[in-house]
Structure 1
Amino acid sequence: MTAEFGVLGVVEARIAGQPVGLGHARQRSVLAALLVEVGRPVTVDQLIDRVWGDDPPQRAAAALYSYLSRLRTALTEADIKIERRPGGYALTADPEAVDLHRFRRLVALARGAPDRSAAEQITEALQLWRGEPFAGLDTPWLSSTRELLLGELFAAELDHHDVLLRLGRHSELLPRLTAAVAEHPLDERLAEQFMLALYRCGRQADADEQYRRIRHSLAEELGSDPGPGLRRLHERILAADPTLTAAITTVQVAAPRSVPAQLPADVRAFTGRDSELAALDRSLSQGDEPPLTVVLLSGTAGVGKSALAVRWAHRVREAFPDGQLYVNLRGYDAEQPVAVGDALSGFLTALGVRGQEIPPGVEERAGRYRSELTGRRMLVLLDNASSVEQVRPLLPGTGSCLVLITSRDALPGMVALHGAERINLDLLPVADAVGLLRRLIGDRVDREVRVAEDLAAACARLPLALRIAAELAAARTDVSLEELVGELSDHRMRLDLLDAGDPRAEVRAVFSWSYQNLPADAARVFRLLGLHPGETAHVEAVAALTGTGVGEARRLLGVLVRASLAQAARGGRYGMHDLLRAYAAELAAEHDPSIEREAALTRLFDHYLAGSVSAMATLYPAVPGAAGDAEAARGWIEAERPTLAAVCTYAAAHGRHRLAIDLAGTLFRYLDAGGPVAEAVTVTSSAVSAARALGDRRAQARALSDLGRLHRRQGRLSESAGTYGQALALYAGLDDPAAEAVVLRNLGSVHWRLGDYRQAADHYERAWALYERLGDDAGQADVSVRLGLVDARLGDEAQATKRFQAALELAGRTGDKFSEAYVISLLARLSGEPAELDRAAAHLERSLAVARRNGDRTAEAYVLTDLAAVHARGGRHAEATAHLRRALVLHRRIGDRASEAEALNDLGQALRAIGETGEARAQHEQALILAREIGDRYEQERAGEGL
């Protein structure tokens, strides 16, 4: 199979057009180092230096060999080898398969080619860039190589400018030169190109002004004068030298605006859906109310949402003369859903934005995307969306566009917040279902109309199942439709997994046609895989589940993939469509004894618990500085996180209560540090129910305490207070003052949010008494801060200052640099002294670096908010605004709604301070809506003050 590699952007590999899982950042850095030198050996010492820099771990060589082994495995299918040679390790691949080397070859060819060919070759070379080289990877070697490559890119762009100028395409080039000069104001070659383009566009005075500007900049910045080339060009422009236009070899024409046409091919034999098509047609005539027309097609899997969307999009494409954008978001696929940033990058590329011009952040990309669509009449088709969050950044900001979304989910947020019109797809009517079979099978249907109706009913009138059945019928011309229906009906009696009348029940029978042809060992893996509670499973988990070795598991999974009974996902993971999974589970119940199924699940759950314990011990070692690959541990948890949540839910529901408690307790610290809050709630709720079932009051109290914290972050304040109250009642009888103090402290914070400051202070005081009795300096420091915040809110800043100073002394004893930095920032904000504010900012910057290094998104968001407050107090509102925008992104990604409301209000204040009153008001309005929704009285008060 053919392989392609990319380093001019995110490091990636594709085999036969499909992405290859390359693992975590260190492992991708190894591949990047080999790709830059493709075909040439790189020594072990060089690789270690390029991957870790000046501070490699003690077992760097062992880690390197592990990464090389994993990369070899990932690239096996394409026959790409990473060979050990006398001079080191070399990746054997055609240099043309690597975008960097293809870029260099095209640029070299262009420099000796005629202008027209050169323009095409450099354009092709520049289109290979998808962003900054090695995006997301950061070592000294990668950083220096990145700078060198960006220099090559700039040189190629300058060559491109020269070629386009010689071809007379100066009008087309002028906007690009304007932006380039702003970015490189001291580059004389670029200035010459800009001046020449201005002159040829009839803007002699602007060309003269550009010369004066760069002459002044060179004198101010470098203490030098323009070079002879630039001076000579200026003289010729002033003299209106006719030779400046004589070299133009083509008639100047403006470059056409990019008109993307990304729709997939229309669906063969599309049948029915007349009423739904008519409803879609009506969306075209809604005018400009609402400003953006959004239509949502929803329905069960296999009902034909994507087919309908693509058919209608082709029907009306002429109504969108500026083009059609399409992305399959894979919200329900076995593979990871498409990241919003990746979808935006693809759209921007289609809209003509060059790779190096695509912003790095999701918010910035979304803003550029909306800007590019302004004034365009375009259709945007977002296929297979799983959530509002996956869709929202992809919505245009203009009423000239129409957005069509398909999803299995009803996505009520799209209707409530964005005015989407929902069209629900039901089963095909019998006539249309038979009509689809007729178009797929042919006149056999007309000869057996009644049997065809029975076949449609057996397929539940779902288009997906109908197409599978039709394909089988077409391939088995010697078998009558009546015989086919007989086979299907016979299996349906055995395989009906759902309640009577559920249309999906019959679909499972279709899968039996593939299952019956499997070898016995592969059939067993298929059945047991149906017991797996997650969407996907890594090959190592499948090995544990089936009791086989990893190599054997991978081989048998390959058999299932080829039979279309499993899908290969990224990173060595495999999954099943939900219907296949249900079918496989029923087969397991039928063919595998209960004792074997339970043993398989026990092996699987032991694998996940052991992996979680190991990863958490690496990320949060009992002994600071203990050895371990933290990045690999974090990568493992991130990859397995949805599955671990599913395991907790399954364990609590199926009598494995201790597993649910242990796994939830093991994972909570990681999930609380930045995992999605909704997922953390699922895991922790499972632990609560499992502890209740066991009658384990201590485990129940701990899980309730964790759950109360999560509810608070979700903004479910009343529910949080109730949950904390249950935990407090349990701890009162367990003689655990440390845990009781934690609950009291957190319950106080809930009352703070509810605007009941006296009640909050009462809980804080009770927590303080317990911490004092225990001699817990860290606990006392934390509660002192919270009491100080109450004092400040009630107007007693002198008492607040005393509390903060006491907290600072206590935090200093514990060595908690995060807490120390936070308290210093609170004191600085109260005093407003510039020196104190600078000191606080320095402490917070160190905390921010630690949070980012640890991958702790929650801590990062909190520190950014504190840092913004310090900057705002010191009058540096632009810096505060930038930090708050980043914090807002993190809070939304995590699902911390209470902190999101706080950040919105802070952002509103910072924007107002720099004169952006309109946007400031919009931020406060959002904060007010959110604070009212979650019952946060404190942020409601702040939003009201801002408005």
Structure 2
Amino acid sequence: MAAEFGVLGAVEARIDGRSIVLGHARQRCVLGVLLVEAGRPVTVDQLIDRVWGQDAPQRAAGALYSYLSRLRGAVAGAEAAIERQPSGYVLTVDPQTVDLHRFRRLITAARASESDQAATDLITEALALWRGEPFAGLDTPWLDSTRRLLLNERFAAELDRNDVLLRLGRHGELLPALSAAAAEYPLDERLAEQSMLALYRCGRQADADEQYRRIRRGLADELGSDPGTALRRLHERILAADPTLDVPVGDARGPGVQLAAPTTVPAQLPADVRAFTGRTGELAALDRLLAPPDGDEPPLTVALLSGTAGVGKSALAVRWAHRVREAFPDGQLYVNLRGYDAEQPVAVADVLASFLTALGVRGPEIPPGVEERAGRYRSELTGRRMLVLLDNASSVEQVRPLLPGTGSCLVLITSRDSLPGMVAVHGAERVSLDLLPPADAVGLLRRLIGVRVDHEPSVAADLAAACARLPLALRIAAELAAARADVSLAELVAELGDHRLRLDLLDAGGDPRAAVRVVFSWSYQHLPADAARAFRLLGLHPGDSVHVEAVAELTGTDVGEARRLLGVLVRASLIHVGRGGRYGMHDLLRAYAAELATAHDAAPDRKAALTRLFDHYLAGSVAAMDALYPEHAAAAGDPDTARNWIEAERPNLAAACTYGAAHGWYRHAIDLAGTLFRYLDAGGPVAEAVTVTASAVSAARAVGDRAAQARALSDLGRLHRRQGRLDEAAETYRQALALYADLGERAAEAVALRNLGSVHWRLGDYRRAADHYQRAWSHHRQLGDEAGQADALVRLGLVDARLGDEAQATERLQAALELSARLGDRFSEAYALSLLARLSRRPAQLERAALQLEQSLAAVRQAEDRTAEAYVLTDLAAVYARGDRLADAAGHLRRALVLHRRIGDRASEAEALNDLGQVLRAAGDAAEARTQHDQALVLAREIGDRYEQARAHDGIAATDGDGANLELARRIFADLAVPAAPSLGSPASSS
């Protein structure tokens, strides 16, 4: 028999179209919970909490069993069963018979669809499943919070449908609904984008501009923030009457607003806390925050858990986040801000970079500044249902840039401070944590120690009081009691009392944090001397987690001994085991350990410990680089092992660089950054690479090592150029160039000149680019460096060709070819040949160039040099295109684009997009060619490459006969003083 279940409206069940009697409201609530969690177990406690909340009667469990029994009979004929399992009750049912799960499947399919029409049909089908408000007629805190989240899911689906309808050109019919929705949700940036685009396409440019001004004022007044990058960019394009905003041709994903399908689903929550006890009232309060308030829905829900150190804020936040994570299907973001760590608080810019990476933003696309990153972050979260947990915040300023701009997200903050600004300005709902109630404190001890608590109940209460009823202190005391099973609790409590008298740790105000330190010291005093020393030294580690090998170096022991010491500290609850066999430490314990190290370990010993640690990280990095890039090493290890090691240790390596640069380990910071540069430049997070390399610049300045400073500046310039931050790249290269000139390092100066010339090339300043290339060629000639001369000649030839002097270009490229051939440099020879072939078009020249490039391609692939592969593919595609091998050319360019995007070379990506557009147009695929040129135009504008902008306008004009684009192309070509001709390659990247 066909069965259907519904929660997107009243909770209902049908068999063959006939309604099933589900009983009274509480019973329907039980079924509603089970339907939401279909196929997943729900514990009795969770069912009681979700059905009754704080109003649960004393015999709620008995009533629950009765409801479950009746529901079993009611749904028995609907191919569904309610089963009891060890982990709770499970509703076994085909999820696609439940309207909620069918809705989610349809939306997922729509977001994955390659056809806009198919996506529209799927979303329309999904929205048709809604019969009203979810769980209509039922009212409990959990159902209310879930109802709100489901309504947000529906809103996101409606926004998705708007996107595809806009791409299908149905802006006119969509505009009334968009205007009404924008009035209802005045701070939703994605909705504002859609409304502005529809207004613009309907010929109402002024109204679109006014729409932008309204949301900008609203964001400033309500959130103290500016519109995100995407909204600002759309506004600029509207004011410029950007022709790419017109209706895309065909059923293809164009350059407009894209369907908001998260490409990644972050799941960053830490592990749930063992033996979590109590806090039912606080958990219920958090649940109630999800319920919609009276009146209009606010743009964002912010919950603030505040309370003293060690009171269990983080544990409660993580417990609740795990409880509700299914309500945030687009993921959960987490960061420990370490706001009370005087040495290593986490920078907001680094948090934003980390979050953007987790959200699927490629490294090169992460903006440089905090405001720009915050804008991109808000844009990425628009329409996504995500939970953002900001742990250990110290101030409003540390949190504000991390707030989303959309009501589909929820932010949970923990802080020792009450953060009144979050409440006053951002409407945060504060949940204050006090000490555990006496019964819960004893209950936690019971779960951790066992029956001894029941044998000595009054003493257990004294122990809880001695720990100030703080969960962190209770856990440490319980672990010590469990480890000393032969000693009575009374003796332990007496011992703790005596210890308290011996320590001058309590202040006159009775700060509960002082009690935590008493328990810390009590547990610490019972450690063996070697474990106590290891604990102290761990407090010096600059990262969040540590591997046993690093602990061995820090403590000056072998790995076996380090593992034993870590086991002692884990059993004492002074550290915890994290993911991947790594070890972490609560921030209070870290601070306490660091204090102990300062008090008990001489400065030379502390310095020696950190020096050993940094030596370990440097040696590991060198070994990993040798394995990954064996052409520079006498012996190489396993590349996969090396890559895994770097990825696991990357946060610690970055922390070692920044800490070393700030605290006197300058050489380690310089050497570590220099060693890691190639890896981070090729595939690591670019934002992290910038931080590490900037630390090297700072360290080199601190020790007056101008040569190291110049090298680090050159690396930093390369990163800026990769990101398309051309002005910053030019300034950084100029600083490096000045240092090299003062130092008399002519060879390095020549390379810097070439790199600076390439930046000016991208900026369209060809005269200045040629001047730098000419000076580089002179340096190389004076040094007798023929390889450098060949490189400079190729670059000069490219400038000549770009400016229309093909005869001079041919002469220089021929000279470069002869030098490369004499040196046996097959790669440079192949590059020069490809450029000459594009100038001459002679079949023999094309064949020779293709053959040599194909050999180069095989060689770089064997060496797994992805950067070189991308360049060779682009060159080979150009030669194939000249020889009318259009399908081969298109295939090579698509592969090159994949590599450019993976590497993060945005400038080369824009050029390859235009190349692919030209090839596709020649092959007769005008629609796809237009798509490539559109993407090239957006990217070229972002990075400031005016020549590629002109090529894109020219390509768009050629595909659809657009006179406006043709005029724009001609104007830019004229400004650049270059002929309107196809591109002849770009200077190859050099280091």
Identify the TM-score tier after normalising by the shorter chain: 0.5 to 0.7
Deviations 1:72-124 (A, max 9, x none): xxxxxxxxxxxxxxxxxxxxxxxxxxxxxxxxxxxxxxxxxxxxxxxxxxxxx
2:539 to 530, 550, 556: 530
Letter in 1 for 2:314: G
Q: Contact 1:468–1:510 (CA<8 Å) still a contact in 2?
A: no
Give the C-alpha shift of residue 723 in structure 1: 1.5
Pairing of 1:171-210 with structure 2 (within 5 A): none
Distance, in Å, in 2 between the alignment partners of 1:937 and 1:785 is 22
User: Is 1:433 aligned to residue 401 of structure 2?
Assistant: no
Pairing of 1:323-362 with structure 2 (within 5 A): none
Tell me which residue corresponds to 1:588: 597
User: Is 1:388 aligned to residue 397 of structure 2?
Assistant: no
User: Is 1:521 aligned to residue 530 of structure 2?
Assistant: yes
Distance, in Å, in 2 between the alignment partners of 1:738 and 1:635 is 35
Distance, in Å, in 2 between the alignment partners of 1:628 and 1:480 is 52
Distance, in Å, in 1 between the alignment partners of 2:353 and 2:767 is 46
Distance 1:756 1:595, change over 3 A: same
Distance 1:640 1:427, change over 3 A: closer
Tell me which residue corresponds to 2:691: 682
Letter in 2 for 1:546: T
Distance, in Å, in 2 between the alignment partners of 1:480 and 1:296 is 42
Give the C-alpha shift of residue 747 in structure 1: 0.7
Tell me which residue corresponds to 1:644: 653
Distance 1:850 1:417, change over 3 A: farther
Letter in 1 for 2:693: T
Give the C-alpha shift of residue 769 in structure 1: 0.9
1:815 to 783, 802, 824: 824
Tell me which residue corresponds to 1:795: 804
Distance, in Å, in 2 between the alignment partners of 1:887 and 1:310 is 42
User: Is 1:545 aligned to residue 554 of structure 2?
Assistant: yes
Q: Contact 1:294–1:402 (CA<8 Å) still a contact in 2?
A: no
Tell me which residue corresponds to 2:769: 760
TM-score normalised by L of structure 1: 0.53
Pairing of 1:714-793 with structure 2 (within 5 A): 714-793=723-802
Distance, in Å, in 2 between the alignment partners of 1:913 and 1:296 is 54
Give the C-alpha shift of residue 770 in structure 1: 0.8
Distance, in Å, in 2 between the alignment partners of 1:386 and 1:921 is 34
Tell me which residue corresponds to 2:185: none
Give the C-alpha shift of residue 820 in structure 1: 3.1
Distance, in Å, in 2 between the alignment partners of 1:917 and 1:284 is 54
Q: Contact 1:331–1:386 (CA<8 Å) still a contact in 2?
A: no
Distance 1:519 1:688, change over 3 A: same
User: Is 1:302 aligned to residue 314 of structure 2?
Assistant: yes
Letter in 2 for 1:425: I
Q: Secondary structure at the match of 2:359?
A: helix
Letter in 2 for 1:764: Y
Tell me which residue corresponds to 1:423: 411
User: Is 1:703 aligned to residue 712 of structure 2?
Assistant: yes
Distance, in Å, in 2 between the alignment partners of 1:474 and 1:916 is 76
Distance, in Å, in 1 between the alignment partners of 2:894 and 2:524 is 52
Q: Contact 2:331–2:386 (CA<8 Å) still a contact in 1?
A: no
Letter in 2 for 1:518: L
Q: Which moved more, 1:901-910 or 1:654-663?
A: 901-910
Q: Secondary structure at the match of 2:743?
A: coil
User: Is 1:602 aligned to residue 599 of structure 2?
Assistant: no
Distance, in Å, in 2 between the alignment partners of 1:914 and 1:488 is 84
Distance, in Å, in 1 between the alignment partners of 2:288 and 2:814 is 69
Distance 1:401 1:607, change over 3 A: closer
Distance, in Å, in 1 between the alignment partners of 2:882 and 2:300 is 42
Distance, in Å, in 2 between the alignment partners of 1:930 and 1:508 is 55
Give the C-alpha shift of residue 768 in structure 1: 0.9
Give the C-alpha shift of residue 468 in structure 1: 5.5
Q: Secondary structure at the match of 1:425?
A: strand
Distance, in Å, in 2 between the alignment partners of 1:388 and 1:693 is 32
Q: Secondary structure at the match of 2:828?
A: helix
Distance 1:551 1:327, change over 3 A: farther
Letter in 2 for 1:820: E
Distance 1:840 1:282, change over 3 A: farther
Q: Contact 2:625–2:642 (CA<8 Å) still a contact in 1?
A: yes
Distance, in Å, in 2 between the alignment partners of 1:885 and 1:836 is 25
Tell me which residue corresponds to 2:111: none
Letter in 1 for 2:548: V
Give the C-alpha shift of residue 740 in structure 1: 0.9
Distance, in Å, in 1 between the alignment partners of 2:295 and 2:878 is 48
Deviations 1:356-389 (A, max 9, x none): xxxxxxxxxxxxxxxxxxxxxxxxxxx9994222
Give the C-alpha shift of residue 762 in structure 1: 1.0
Instruction: Give me the identity figure in percent.
Output: 59
Q: Contact 1:415–1:421 (CA<8 Å) still a contact in 2?
A: no
Q: Contact 1:270–1:307 (CA<8 Å) still a contact in 2?
A: no
Q: Contact 2:473–2:519 (CA<8 Å) still a contact in 1?
A: no
Q: Secondary structure at the match of 1:773?
A: helix
Tell me which residue corresponds to 2:24: none
Q: Secondary structure at the match of 1:387?
A: helix
Distance, in Å, in 2 between the alignment partners of 1:607 and 1:480 is 41
Distance 1:613 1:930, change over 3 A: same
Distance 1:874 1:571, change over 3 A: farther
Q: Contact 1:688–1:704 (CA<8 Å) still a contact in 2?
A: yes
Letter in 2 for 1:724: Y
Letter in 2 for 1:744: L
Distance, in Å, in 2 between the alignment partners of 1:309 and 1:284 is 25
Q: Contact 1:715–1:934 (CA<8 Å) still a contact in 2?
A: yes
Q: Secondary structure at the match of 2:664?
A: coil
TM-score normalised by L of structure 2: 0.51
Pairing of 1:271-290 with structure 2 (within 5 A): 271-272=281-282, 280-282=290-292
Give the C-alpha shift of residue 741 in structure 1: 0.5
Q: Contact 2:387–2:410 (CA<8 Å) still a contact in 1?
A: no
Unaligned runs of 5+ in 2: 1-264, 307-312, 339-350, 363-376, 419-429, 446-457, 483-487, 957-991
Q: Contact 1:755–1:937 (CA<8 Å) still a contact in 2?
A: yes
Unaligned runs of 5+ in 1: 1-259, 318-323, 335-382
Tell me which residue corresponds to 1:195: none
Distance, in Å, in 2 between the alignment partners of 1:685 and 1:792 is 37
Give the C-alpha shift of residue 609 in structure 1: 3.4
Give the C-alpha shift of residue 558 in structure 1: 2.9
Q: Contact 1:872–1:910 (CA<8 Å) still a contact in 2?
A: yes
Distance 1:901 1:453, change over 3 A: farther
Give the C-alpha shift of residue 663 in structure 1: 3.3
Q: Which moved more, 1:576-585 or 1:482-491?
A: 482-491
Distance 1:929 1:548, change over 3 A: same
Letter in 2 for 1:742: V
Pairing of 1:472-551 with structure 2 (within 5 A): 515-551=524-560
Distance 1:943 1:669, change over 3 A: same
Give the C-alpha shift of residue 803 in structure 1: 3.0
2:667 to 658, 681, 701: 658
Distance, in Å, in 1 between the alignment partners of 2:400 and 2:726 is 23
How many residues get paired? 618
Give the C-alpha shift of residue 790 in structure 1: 2.0
Distance, in Å, in 1 between the alignment partners of 2:731 and 2:529 is 53
